[in-house]
Amino acid sequence: MIPIWIDLQVRGDDRGSLVALETGRQIPFPIRRVYYIFGTKPGVVRGLHAHRKLRQMTFVAQGSCDMLLDDGRNRVSVRLDDQARGLMLDRMVWHEMSNFSPDCVLVVVAETEYDAADYIRNYQEFLRHVHPSHS
Ligand code: TYD
């Protein structure tokens, strides 16, 4: 169930640190897209959707934020504040990101190119997908 964390190897030397993300190693799906969210204004909540098919993994390259995960049965809030850990964002998980530090750079690797049709942006509709017998 949620949350699923992936520990990343930090390769450091006297110059600083480096983390690598590779398909089939740290990332359990083919990477077709990478995007990053930064400069988030105070008080902003992002996300507020689920994906029908898309799997993603999220990381903070810098700073911190909170991630609420909701699979329609359980709801958990976790903090992303460690560059050496990634959080799995599975398909059909409602997610909301908040409490961004001013320096936060949230990196997301995704299994497919951007597809607006894959989004469920209405929470009640999301619940109907998760619990079809209740609708
Ligand atoms: P949005 O879905 O609102 O971001 P979030 O769910 O993280 O709050 O995306 C903001 C804008 O960026 C919106 O116009 C769609 C666009 N976008 C892309 O063009 N490609 C992408 O890969 C993503 C994630 C968003």
pLDDT digits (tens, 9 = 90+) for 71-108: 999 999 999 999 999 999 999 999 999 999 999 999 99
Neighbours of 29 (CB within 10 A): 16
Name which residue sits closest to atom 17 of ligand 1, judged by CA: 114
Name which residue sits closest to atom 2 of ligand 1, judged by CA: 47
Ligand 1 within 6 A of CB of 114: yes
Give 51's pLDDT tier (boundaries 50, 70, 90). Answer: very high
Catalytic residue, chosen from 49, 129, 131, 134, is: 49
List of long-range contacts for 13-20, beta carbons under 8 Å, 24+ apart: 17/83, 19/59, 19/83, 19/84
Ligand 1 within 6 A of CB of 5: no
pLDDT of residue 1: 53
Q: Is 95 considered catalytic here?
A: no
User: How far is residue 135's CA from residue 132's CA, in Å, rounded to a whole number?
Assistant: 6
pLDDT of residue 134: 72
User: How far is residue 113's CA from residue 71's CA, in Å, rounded to a whole number?
Assistant: 23
What is the rounded average pLDDT of the residues 32-37? 98
What SS3 class is residue 116?
helix
User: How far is residue 14's CA from residue 34's CA, in Å, rounded to a whole number?
Assistant: 28
State the Rg of the chain over Cα: 15
